[in-house]
Amino acid sequence: MCFPSRPLISSLCGELLIVGSRGMQLRLLCFIGALCIPLSSAFAQTTPSQPYRPPLETTPVVQQQPSPSPSPTTAPSEETRPLYGFQGVLIETLDGKVVSSQNASQQFNPASTIKLATALVALRTLGPEHRFATAVWTDGTLDKTTGIVNGSLYISGRDPSFHYEHAVLLAHELNQLGITQFTGGLFVAPGFTMNFDWSVQRSGAKLYDTLDSKLRYAEAVRAWNYERNLLNDHAALETIPSVAITGAVGVAPVPSTAKLLLTQKSSKLVEILKVLLCYSNNFMAERIGETLGGPSSVTQQLVAILGIGPGELRLSSLSGLGINRVSPAVMMKIYRALRTELAKYHFSPSDIMPVAGIDPGTLQERFTGQAWRGSVIAKTGTLARTDGGASALVGQLKAANGEILLFVIMNQRGSVTRFRENQDYLVMLVQNTRGGPKAFDYKPITLMMQLSDTESTVADDEQPKVKGQ
């Protein structure tokens, strides 16, 4: 790895560069060198972006066993295990000085870390305050004495976070308008989805059952009660929201003659991104990606934003599924651009990314040692079978000396479990060279709260009538 001074130490690990005091160099070489020897020889034959042809004979390289909480003053355990695969590493200081570089220009499958690119383009295109609208329409008229609308109910919108509790909230809001029943059917517009289900028809059926308290799933009741209690909205729990639909469920566009009843707006984009990245939700990433124009459009925007060549980034999905290609160097540019975009609106990476050992989701069980909790903010990526197994970790760490380092670690063609172990060990080892870890200043918010910050506006009323919190 590279430190403030500039003596260069050559290595057998391809592009690995290490700078710093000799004591630190030897210690880090002990770990990284063991990782890199088989990897560099593999790269001499092929790269991850080319068809993989394993060598006729592979000899495992002895790897020092990572410890869940390595000590800054003691060496790793002498217990050994072999590690196979490709690896790319790029670690930099905030001002761009290289701390460590291994195969940084080689392309890897970034897996779900590509969601950081999706988040970057979404923030630049839509803005952090953007809310996804779900509109409620009818082609009938309301009998105020009975609460019955003589007509059908139409729903349109592309909210990637629309879930049970939001559907019950719609029933609650319709009840506030005096509506308890529609004599016609329920029609959801093409593009409407619910509960992270790609099927519009199934989403419409779930909405149909959730609106009506007599058909409502127990899971929907639990979600509604939990959210309202979380928001201390006990008044909403004094009654049971319910809207009955007499007709059937269908998929159809909203008629031009339909009247808008109300609009429910989702939580802010920055809040949705926090949930998306903590749980690495593929559905939400792809839905937001659709709003941005899909992989081709996002690729073009990234090329322009980052100032890279078209061949330096290949995206087939915006969630990380399938075959995508990016180098650690380009991923570092993506992460830096994301940090800059967040800073424009006075946000930090922890506002949209998981904080290790604290936030639920993919990093909840990593860096859990008392000293390490909260010292890493990162996005994980895992594909157990694609490209022979791909794993990545991208983000930032904080050391006891107060220094913040940005890192990209990518692994391919091997055990994703072993890859994750060594990613964690490498991050902790870097922290140890700077006195150990130090937690970021971070106050967690229940993720359910992140998706409860909804707003509703009644037709012909420009001011929010019902707010989630």
Residue type present at position 467: K
Find, among 130, 187, 192, 122, the residue nearest to 159 by Cα. 192
Q: What is the pLDDT of residue 311?
A: 95
**pLDDT score at 223:** 95
Q: What is the 3-state secondary structure (H, E, C) of 55-109?
A: CCCCCCCEEEECCCCCCCCCCCEEEEEECCCEEEEEEEECCCCEEEEECCCCCEC
Please tell me the predicted confidence (pLDDT) of residue 450: 77
Domains of the chain: 83-127+272-432 (3.40.710.10), 133-266+448-467 (3.50.80.20)
List residues bridging with 392 in a β-sheet.
Answer: 381, 410
What is the predicted pLDDT for the residue at 82?
57
Contacts 24+ apart (CB under 8 A), 342-349: 342/123, 342/128, 345/127, 345/128, 345/270, 347/128, 347/270, 349/377, 349/395, 349/396
Q: What is the pLDDT of residue 455?
A: 87
Report the C-alpha gap between 76 and 68 in whole angstroms: 10
What pLDDT sits at residue 81? 56
Phi, psi of 351 (to 5 degrees): -75, -20
The residues of the chain scoring below 70 in pLDDT are: 1-83, 460-469
Pull the structure tokens for residue 95: 């001002």
Residue 452: what pLDDT? 84
38 closest CA partner among 9, 81, 70, 3:
81
Instruction: Determine the longest span between alpha carbons in the chain, in angstroms.
Output: 85
Under a CB-based contact definition with an 8 Å cutoff, are residues 292 and 122 in contact? yes
Q: How far apart are CA 408 and CA 386, in angstroms?
A: 20
Q: Are strands 325-326 and 313-314 parallel, antiparallel or unpaired?
A: antiparallel
Phi then psi dihedrals of residue 27, to 5 deg: -70, -45
Q: Which residues contact 95 (CB under 8 A, 6 or more apart)?
A: none
